[in-house]
Amino acid sequence: MKILIAYFTMGGRTKKTAEAIASALATHEVSFFPIEITGKFIEKIKLLDQFEKKDFSKIETELNTLHAASYDLIMVGMPTYGNFPPKAFDEILARMENLSGKKAIVFNTARFTGGKALEYMKTKVEEAGAEVIDQRKFRKVLWIGTKNANKFGKQLNERLE
C-alpha cells in the first residue's frame, strides 16, 4: 500500500510516534507530510499562535505540495491542545480535499486526555469521505517512548494488504 503519514509536531512527540509507526510498516511504501514547528520557544509560540488563528501563510509552499490522490491510506497524527487537535489538522484535511474511497487512520499524542480530540479527528476525516479503519491515542505524561507506536505499526503492517 502507498501510505501517507501527515502529522503536526511542536515538541517532537508526535513526530517520534509517527516515525515509530512508519518504521514498522515494512512491507508498505510510506511517505511523510510533516508540519514541524521548530526554533526558540518564543518563535514556536508565535508561529503556533498564527496557525491557531488559521494563518498558514508561512507554510503555504509546503501546503501546496500536499496531495492525497496517489495514496491508498492516509494517516493523520496530531498532538492534543485543549481537547482538540491544532488547527493545522483542519487545514491539512481541507488541503487534501475529497478523500472518498480512501482508507484512513487517525492518531494523536497527549499528556493527560486526548480521547475527545481523537473522536473529533475521526469525525472530520469521515466527513471528508474516508473510511477510518483504526484510531489510536498515545498518552504519556512525561517521556513518550516508541514501544506502543511500534507495536501499533506492526499490527497494521500485518493487517494491511
Ligand X SMILES: Cc1cc2nc3c(=O)[nH]c(=O)nc-3n(C[C@H](O)[C@H](O)[C@H](O)COP(=O)(O)O)c2cc1C
User: Where along the sequence are the contacts to ligand X (CB under 6 A)?
Assistant: 9-15, 79-83, 109-114
Q: How far is the CB of 143 from ligand X (least distance, A)?
A: 11
Can you list the positions of beta strands (E) in 103-152? 103-110, 131-139
Nearer to ligand X, 12 or 39 (CB): 12
Q: Which residue is closest to ligand X by CB?
A: 11
Nearer to ligand X, 74 or 149 (CB): 149
Nearer to ligand X, 77 or 130 (CB): 77
Nearer to ligand X, 80 or 92 (CB): 80
Cα 125 to the center of its chain, rounded Å: 11
27, 7, 15, 108: CA torsion to nearest 10:
-100
Q: Hey, what's the cell of 26?
A: 515494512
The three-state DSSP-derived secondary structure of 7-65 is EEECCCHHHHHHHHHHHHCCCCEEEEEEEECCCCHHHHHHHHHHHHCCCCHHHHHHHCC
Q: Hey, what's the cell of 133?
A: 479503519
Q: How far is the CB of 70 from ligand X (least distance, A)?
A: 26
Q: How far is the CB of 34 from ligand X (least distance, A)?
A: 10
Q: How far is the CB of 93 from ligand X (least distance, A)?
A: 18
